[in-house]
């Protein structure tokens, strides 16, 4: 089974994925959506796009 299908079967959506990224990167959920070039935020957004 493809990774995308596994995530869909576990009912992951954009918000749930963002929350998971925030917990891994030690960010507040609102921080990941703010426009800033702080390293942690950029890394968090990159991880969100990757997942």
Q: What is the DSSP string of 1-51?
A: --HHHHHHHTT--HHHHHHHHHHHHT--TTGGGS----HHHHHHHHHHHH-
Give residue 4's pLDDT.
65
Q: Determine the longest span between alpha carbons in the chain, in angstroms.
A: 36
Q: Provide mean pLDDT across the span 28-38.
A: 88
Q: How far apart are CA 46 and CA 8, in angstroms?
A: 20
Q: Would you list the domain boundaries of the chain?
A: 3-50
Torsion of CA 35, 39, 45, 49, to 10 degrees: 130
Give residue 22's pLDDT.
93
Q: What is the pTM of this model?
A: 0.71
Give residue 1's pLDDT.
62
What integer best gives the mean pLDDT of the chain? 85
């Amino acid at each position: 089974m493809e990774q995308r299908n596994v995530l869909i079967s576990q009912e992951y959506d954009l918000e749930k994925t963002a929350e998971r990224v925030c917990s891994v990167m030690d960010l507040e959920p609102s921080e990941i959506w703010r426009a800033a070039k702080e390293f942690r935020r950029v890394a968090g957004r990159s991880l969100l796009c990757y997942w």
